[in-house]
Amino acid sequence: MNLQTAELNIRVKGSTSATPDLDWSQVRETVKMLNLAVAQVGGSLMHGNDSVNELTDSFTSMADAVNEIRSMIKDVNISQERQVLGHIDEKCGTLSDKVSGAIIAFQFYDRLSQNLTHVNECLSSLSELVADQTKLYNPSEWMRLQDDIRGRYTMSEEREMFDMVLEGADLDKILEKFKSNHNEDIGEIELF
């Protein structure tokens, strides 16, 4: 494969809206936007499932800890006071850790909600463009759509996914990277 063929393969895989040529196709651009939606939904679902499981475990553990603390308080007598206070302190620490875990899970849920909102907006904008015959075959309208969609993103992870899709990256590789980033984020509180 010579350099010219390699360059052609790269162009065909990635978006060419910025530099349209005779091979430019609104169908390929539509597919790229749909691939973006698929990648976002797939990644968001991973976040959502992990967050819901974490919330379930956290709240179950918190309820168990509260019940144990109540039971200890009812059964306390003076000779056991120090031991009971130690157990209560331990259970309070566990409860505090679970509350922190629940807060993080809620933040991932917030991220899921933001991702799905962006997918919805992307698909809505795409539908409007495809429905308008004056815009459908115009590469600059597709570029405007892409710029508008990317500009709506508030998280760097979303912009990175968007860029990878437009560059023609394989969806499985995008989702694997998204999953890897998600695993690194677990346990960190991110304010957004």
Determine, yes or no, domain membership for 191. Answer: no
Q: How many domains does the chain have?
A: 1
* HSE toward the beta carbon, residue 157, CA cutoff 13 A: 23
pLDDT at site 180: 76
Are the C-beta atoms of residues 43 and 115 closer than 8 Å to each other?
yes
Per-residue pLDDT tens digits of the chain, which is 192 residues long: 443 433 334 334 677 778 777 777 787 788 788 888 878 887 777 777 777 777 778 888 887 888 787 777 777 777 778 787 888 888 888 888 888 887 887 787 778 878 888 888 888 888 888 878 889 889 999 999 999 999 998 888 889 999 999 999 998 999 888 887 665 655 454 433
34 part of a folded domain = yes
Distance in angstroms between the alpha carbons of the first and the last residue of the chain: 46
Domain, as residue range, for 74: 25-184
- pLDDT for the residue numbered 183: 59
On whether residue 8 sits in a domain, the answer given is: no
Q: Does residue 109 lie within any of the structural domains?
A: yes
